[in-house]
Structure 1
Amino acid sequence: MIKTHEDLHQLVSTEIERYLAEHPEASITFEVAENNSCSMKNTQNDHKFVFLFARFGDEYKVGFALYKGYDPNPCWIDDIEHEGFDQNFMQILIKEHLIGE
Protein backbone atom coordinates (compact mmCIF):
# COMPACT_ATOMS: atom_id res chain seq x y z
CA MET A 1 0.00 0.00 0.00
CA ILE A 2 1.30 3.43 -0.94
CA LYS A 3 1.25 5.91 1.96
CA THR A 4 3.92 8.43 0.89
CA HIS A 5 5.74 9.72 -2.16
CA GLU A 6 8.73 7.68 -1.03
CA ASP A 7 6.61 4.51 -1.01
CA LEU A 8 5.56 5.28 -4.58
CA HIS A 9 9.14 5.89 -5.72
CA GLN A 10 10.35 2.70 -4.05
CA LEU A 11 7.61 0.52 -5.54
CA VAL A 12 8.04 1.85 -9.07
CA SER A 13 11.84 1.55 -9.03
CA THR A 14 11.74 -1.92 -7.44
CA GLU A 15 9.28 -3.24 -10.02
CA ILE A 16 11.34 -1.81 -12.86
CA GLU A 17 14.39 -3.62 -11.45
CA ARG A 18 12.36 -6.82 -11.09
CA TYR A 19 11.19 -6.65 -14.70
CA LEU A 20 14.69 -5.90 -15.99
CA ALA A 21 16.14 -8.83 -14.04
CA GLU A 22 13.77 -11.15 -15.94
CA HIS A 23 14.09 -9.29 -19.27
CA PRO A 24 17.67 -8.00 -19.64
CA GLU A 25 17.01 -6.99 -23.24
CA ALA A 26 14.56 -4.29 -22.09
CA SER A 27 15.60 -0.72 -21.39
CA ILE A 28 13.56 1.19 -18.80
CA THR A 29 14.67 4.33 -16.98
CA PHE A 30 13.34 5.74 -13.70
CA GLU A 31 13.26 9.40 -12.67
CA VAL A 32 11.93 11.44 -9.73
CA ALA A 33 10.86 15.03 -10.45
CA GLU A 34 11.06 18.05 -8.14
CA ASN A 35 7.28 17.87 -7.54
CA ASN A 36 7.70 14.28 -6.19
CA SER A 37 6.11 12.70 -9.24
CA CYS A 38 8.10 9.88 -10.75
CA SER A 39 8.29 8.31 -14.16
CA MET A 40 9.42 5.22 -15.98
CA LYS A 41 10.32 5.28 -19.64
CA ASN A 42 10.86 2.53 -22.16
CA THR A 43 13.81 3.91 -24.12
CA GLN A 44 13.20 1.49 -26.98
CA ASN A 45 9.73 2.78 -27.95
CA ASP A 46 9.69 6.09 -25.98
CA HIS A 47 6.54 5.17 -24.05
CA LYS A 48 6.51 6.82 -20.64
CA PHE A 49 4.39 6.59 -17.48
CA VAL A 50 4.24 9.47 -15.00
CA PHE A 51 2.98 8.73 -11.45
CA LEU A 52 1.81 11.05 -8.69
CA PHE A 53 0.63 10.28 -5.16
CA ALA A 54 -2.19 12.58 -4.06
CA ARG A 55 -4.99 13.09 -1.60
CA PHE A 56 -8.51 13.72 -2.89
CA GLY A 57 -10.72 14.57 0.08
CA ASP A 58 -10.46 11.60 2.43
CA GLU A 59 -9.03 9.31 -0.25
CA TYR A 60 -5.42 8.65 -1.16
CA LYS A 61 -4.76 7.76 -4.78
CA VAL A 62 -2.00 7.23 -7.27
CA GLY A 63 -2.61 9.08 -10.50
CA PHE A 64 -0.84 8.06 -13.67
CA ALA A 65 -0.56 9.07 -17.29
CA LEU A 66 0.84 7.18 -20.28
CA TYR A 67 2.61 9.09 -23.04
CA LYS A 68 3.46 7.35 -26.31
CA GLY A 69 6.46 8.42 -28.30
CA TYR A 70 7.11 12.12 -28.35
CA ASP A 71 3.44 13.14 -28.20
CA PRO A 72 3.18 15.76 -25.40
CA ASN A 73 -0.43 14.74 -24.74
CA PRO A 74 -1.09 11.61 -22.68
CA CYS A 75 -3.07 8.86 -24.36
CA TRP A 76 -4.27 7.48 -21.02
CA ILE A 77 -4.87 9.23 -17.69
CA ASP A 78 -6.29 7.42 -14.69
CA ASP A 79 -6.00 6.95 -10.96
CA ILE A 80 -6.25 4.06 -8.55
CA GLU A 81 -6.82 3.78 -4.81
CA HIS A 82 -3.49 3.64 -3.00
CA GLU A 83 -4.29 0.14 -1.69
CA GLY A 84 -4.60 -1.19 -5.25
CA PHE A 85 -1.32 0.22 -6.51
CA ASP A 86 0.90 -2.76 -5.81
CA GLN A 87 3.51 -5.06 -7.37
CA ASN A 88 1.00 -6.87 -9.57
CA PHE A 89 -0.52 -3.63 -10.87
CA MET A 90 2.94 -2.25 -11.68
CA GLN A 91 3.91 -5.41 -13.58
CA ILE A 92 0.72 -5.15 -15.65
CA LEU A 93 1.52 -1.52 -16.50
CA ILE A 94 5.06 -2.45 -17.51
CA LYS A 95 4.28 -5.61 -19.48
CA GLU A 96 1.04 -4.62 -21.18
CA HIS A 97 1.44 -0.89 -21.70
CA LEU A 98 5.04 0.29 -21.36
CA ILE A 99 6.61 -2.64 -23.21
CA GLY A 100 3.70 -4.35 -24.96
CA GLU A 101 2.21 -1.56 -27.01
Structure 2
Amino acid sequence: MSGTKKLPLVLATLTPDQIDRAKEANGRRKQITHALICGDYGQMFGTERQCLKYYDVWKTIFRPLFSKVHQTKKHTVEDYATTENLVMRLIEADDRRAQQR
Protein backbone atom coordinates (compact mmCIF):
# COMPACT_ATOMS: atom_id res chain seq x y z
CA MET A 1 0.00 0.00 0.00
CA SER A 2 0.98 3.64 0.00
CA GLY A 3 4.38 4.69 1.22
CA THR A 4 5.56 8.27 1.52
CA LYS A 5 5.24 9.05 -2.17
CA LYS A 6 1.84 10.48 -3.01
CA LEU A 7 0.16 9.59 -6.29
CA PRO A 8 -2.83 11.29 -7.94
CA LEU A 9 -6.55 10.64 -7.61
CA VAL A 10 -7.76 10.31 -11.21
CA LEU A 11 -11.22 10.03 -12.71
CA ALA A 12 -10.55 8.55 -16.15
CA THR A 13 -12.74 7.99 -19.16
CA LEU A 14 -11.81 4.58 -20.54
CA THR A 15 -11.08 3.73 -24.16
CA PRO A 16 -13.04 0.86 -25.79
CA ASP A 17 -10.04 -1.46 -25.27
CA GLN A 18 -9.78 -0.46 -21.60
CA ILE A 19 -13.52 -1.03 -21.16
CA ASP A 20 -13.14 -4.55 -22.55
CA ARG A 21 -10.23 -5.27 -20.23
CA ALA A 22 -12.12 -3.89 -17.20
CA LYS A 23 -15.18 -5.98 -18.05
CA GLU A 24 -12.98 -9.05 -18.43
CA ALA A 25 -11.59 -8.46 -14.93
CA ASN A 26 -14.83 -7.37 -13.23
CA GLY A 27 -17.60 -9.15 -15.09
CA ARG A 28 -18.95 -8.79 -18.61
CA ARG A 29 -22.39 -7.76 -17.38
CA LYS A 30 -21.10 -4.71 -15.53
CA GLN A 31 -21.60 -1.30 -17.07
CA ILE A 32 -18.12 0.19 -17.23
CA THR A 33 -17.07 3.41 -18.94
CA HIS A 34 -14.84 5.04 -16.32
CA ALA A 35 -12.22 4.29 -13.69
CA LEU A 36 -11.43 6.01 -10.43
CA ILE A 37 -7.73 5.47 -9.78
CA CYS A 38 -6.80 6.16 -6.16
CA GLY A 39 -3.02 6.25 -6.34
CA ASP A 40 -1.57 3.01 -5.07
CA TYR A 41 -4.52 2.43 -2.72
CA GLY A 42 -6.49 0.84 -5.55
CA GLN A 43 -9.13 1.54 -8.15
CA MET A 44 -12.77 1.11 -9.00
CA PHE A 45 -14.61 0.79 -12.31
CA GLY A 46 -18.13 1.73 -13.28
CA THR A 47 -20.23 4.24 -15.13
CA GLU A 48 -19.34 7.91 -15.15
CA ARG A 49 -22.12 8.58 -12.66
CA GLN A 50 -20.94 5.85 -10.27
CA CYS A 51 -17.30 6.92 -10.34
CA LEU A 52 -18.10 10.64 -10.20
CA LYS A 53 -20.16 10.12 -7.04
CA TYR A 54 -17.08 8.82 -5.22
CA TYR A 55 -14.63 11.19 -6.92
CA ASP A 56 -16.60 14.26 -5.84
CA VAL A 57 -16.55 13.16 -2.19
CA TRP A 58 -13.10 11.60 -2.00
CA LYS A 59 -11.33 14.53 -3.67
CA THR A 60 -12.26 16.57 -0.61
CA ILE A 61 -12.24 14.05 2.23
CA PHE A 62 -9.06 12.22 1.23
CA ARG A 63 -7.28 15.11 -0.54
CA PRO A 64 -4.18 14.93 1.73
CA LEU A 65 -3.50 11.38 0.52
CA PHE A 66 -3.00 12.41 -3.11
CA SER A 67 -0.41 14.47 -4.98
CA LYS A 68 -3.11 15.98 -7.19
CA VAL A 69 -6.72 15.39 -8.18
CA HIS A 70 -7.90 15.50 -11.77
CA GLN A 71 -10.15 14.13 -14.50
CA THR A 72 -8.84 12.91 -17.84
CA LYS A 73 -9.94 11.22 -21.04
CA LYS A 74 -6.60 9.42 -21.40
CA HIS A 75 -4.98 7.45 -18.61
CA THR A 76 -2.86 4.31 -18.44
CA VAL A 77 -4.47 1.69 -16.24
CA GLU A 78 -2.16 -0.84 -14.60
CA ASP A 79 -4.71 -3.09 -12.88
CA TYR A 80 -8.23 -3.61 -14.18
CA ALA A 81 -9.65 -5.38 -11.13
CA THR A 82 -11.72 -3.30 -8.74
CA THR A 83 -9.97 -3.11 -5.38
CA GLU A 84 -11.97 -4.72 -2.58
CA ASN A 85 -12.57 -2.54 0.47
CA LEU A 86 -11.14 0.51 -1.28
CA VAL A 87 -12.91 2.97 0.99
CA MET A 88 -11.56 1.17 4.07
CA ARG A 89 -8.03 1.38 2.66
CA LEU A 90 -8.47 5.11 2.20
CA ILE A 91 -9.93 5.57 5.68
CA GLU A 92 -7.08 3.61 7.28
CA ALA A 93 -4.45 5.58 5.34
CA ASP A 94 -6.09 8.86 6.28
CA ASP A 95 -6.23 7.81 9.95
CA ARG A 96 -2.51 6.94 9.88
CA ARG A 97 -1.75 10.28 8.26
CA ALA A 98 -3.75 12.13 10.92
CA GLN A 99 -1.97 10.29 13.74
CA GLN A 100 1.44 11.30 12.34
CA ARG A 101 0.57 14.99 12.48
Tell whether the structures are fold-level matches, with TM greater than 0.5: no
Structure with the higher helix share, 1 or 2: 2
TM-score normalised by structure 2 residue count: 0.34
Structure with the higher strand share, 1 or 2: 1
TM-score normalised by structure 1 residue count: 0.34
